[in-house]
Amino acid sequence: MDNSVKKMKTSLDCIPCFVRQALEASKMATEDKAKQEKALKRVLLELEKTSLEGKIPPDIARKVHRIIRKVTGNSDPYKKLKDEYNRKALRMYPNLKQKVAGSEDRLLTATKLAIAGNIIDFGPGSKFDLEKTIGEVLVQDFAINHFNRFRNALQKSEKIVYLGDNTGEIVFDRILLEELKSKEITFVVKGGPIINDATVEDAKFAGIDKITQIRTISNGEPGTGPKRNSKEFIDLLKSADVVISKGQGNYEALSEVNANIFFLLKVKCPMIARDIGVKIGGIVVKQSR
C-alpha cells in the first residue's frame, strides 16, 4: 500500500455512510418524524446532485449536516452527546494525568492518550468503549510510527498549531498540550457545531483556553471562521514549526498540505484505512513530509 501523502477522495462507499449520519443526526435533532424524513430526503437529493469529483469527504459532510440543522431547526443535534462526553472525559482527567506521571516516557504516554481520545467520534457510526480503548492504545504499537520524528520536531519547535477534533477528546488533547514546552501554541476548533466536533465552548469547558490561544475554522456556516482549505488557514499551518493534527477529518482535508504536520489518529473508517494503509483500529503518528 502506498503511504505517500495525497488528497483523500470521496468514494462511492462514503454515500451510505453520509445517509446513515444524516438519519442519526435527524433523530437527535428532532422528535418530529415528518421533519426527520424531510431532512433525510433533502440529504438524499443533495447527495444525488453532488459530484464527488475533487471533493473530500468533509466537504460533503459539511453540506449534509448543514441541511440537517436547517431543516430540523436544531443548530446542534449532537449537543447532549457532546456534553456527556465532555463531562465523562473531564472526570477521567486526574486519572489520565496519573498515567502520564507514572509512565517511563511522559510524551509517548500523553501522545497515546490523545490518540485514544480520538475514538470519541460519532461520524463513523460504530460503537466504542472509551475505557477499553485507552487500555488497548497504551500497549498498542503504532501502525505508522513517526513518533521519534514527532518528539524531535517538538523539542525544536517554538510555534505549534494543534488541530483539535471532537468533544471529550479535547480533554485528552489537554493532557498532551500540558506536555508541550513551546512558547506559542494555538488550538484550533470548529467555529460552530458539526457532528460532535469540539467548539470554542468545549475548549473552554476542557480548560484549554487557559493554556493556549484558541482559533476557529468553519463548520460550514458563514462567520464561523476560515475554511480549512483557505489560504488564511493554510498560511497559519505553514507558519508553525509543528502542526499536530487530530483525527480523520483533518487528515482527509490536509494530507496534501505542504506544512510540517503530524497526523495523530485512530483509524475508524474503511476508506481512511485504505488510503493510509492501516487496518481499522490502528493508531497512527504520521508526518506529512
Residues numbered 101 to 120 that lie near a copy of itself (CB under 8 A) are none
Give whichever of 48 and 141 is closer to a copy of itself, judged by the CB atom. Answer: 48
Give whichever of 40 and 96 is closer to a copy of itself, judged by the CB atom. Answer: 40
Residues numbered 45 to 64 that lie near a copy of itself (CB under 8 A) are 45, 47-48, 52
Give whichever of 78 and 162 is closer to a copy of itself, judged by the CB atom. Answer: 78
16 neighbors 22 (Cβ within 8 angstroms):
no
Give whichever of 45 and 211 is closer to a copy of itself, judged by the CB atom. Answer: 45
DSSP secondary structure string for all residues of 69-106 = HHHHT-S-TTHHHHHHHHHHHHHHHHHHHHHHHTSS-H
CA–CA distances in Å: residue 155 to residues 159, 160, 162, 240, 263 = 11, 11, 15, 13, 17
Give whichever of 19 and 180 is closer to a copy of itself, judged by the CB atom. Answer: 19
Region of 217 (left: φ > 0; alpha: ψ -120 to 50; beta: rest) is: beta
Q: How far is the CB of 238 from a copy of itself (least distance, A)?
A: 35
Q: Work out the burial of residue 237: count CB atoms within 10 Å of its CB; fewer than 13 is exposed, 13-18 middle, 19 or more buried.
A: buried
Number of C-beta neighbours around residue 75 at 10 A: 12
C-alpha 269/C-alpha 79 separation (Å) is 23
Give whichever of 66 and 227 is closer to a copy of itself, judged by the CB atom. Answer: 66
Q: Work out the burial of residue 94: count CB atoms within 10 Å of its CB; fewer than 13 is exposed, 13-18 middle, 19 or more buried.
A: exposed
User: Does 44 participate in binding a copy of itself (rule CB under 8 A)?
Assistant: yes
User: Which H or E run contains 145?
Assistant: strand 144-145
Contact pattern from residue 2 through residue 41 relative to a copy of itself, giving x for each residue in contact according to CB under 8 A and a dash for the rest: ----------xx-xx--xx--x--xx-----x--xx--xx
Q: How far is the CB of 289 from a copy of itself (least distance, A)?
A: 30
Count of residues engaged in binding a copy of itself, rule: CB under 8 A? 19
Which among 211, 168, 163 is positioned nearest to 189, based on CA atoms?
Answer: 163
Give whichever of 36 and 111 is closer to a copy of itself, judged by the CB atom. Answer: 36
User: Does 181 participate in binding a copy of itself (rule CB under 8 A)?
Assistant: no
Q: How far is the CB of 33 from a copy of itself (least distance, A)?
A: 7
240 neighbors 161 (Cβ within 8 angstroms):
yes
User: Does 72 participate in binding a copy of itself (rule CB under 8 A)?
Assistant: no
Interacting residue ranges for a copy of itself, rule: CB under 8 A: 12-13, 15-16, 19-20, 23, 26-27, 33, 36-37, 40-41, 44-45, 47-48, 52
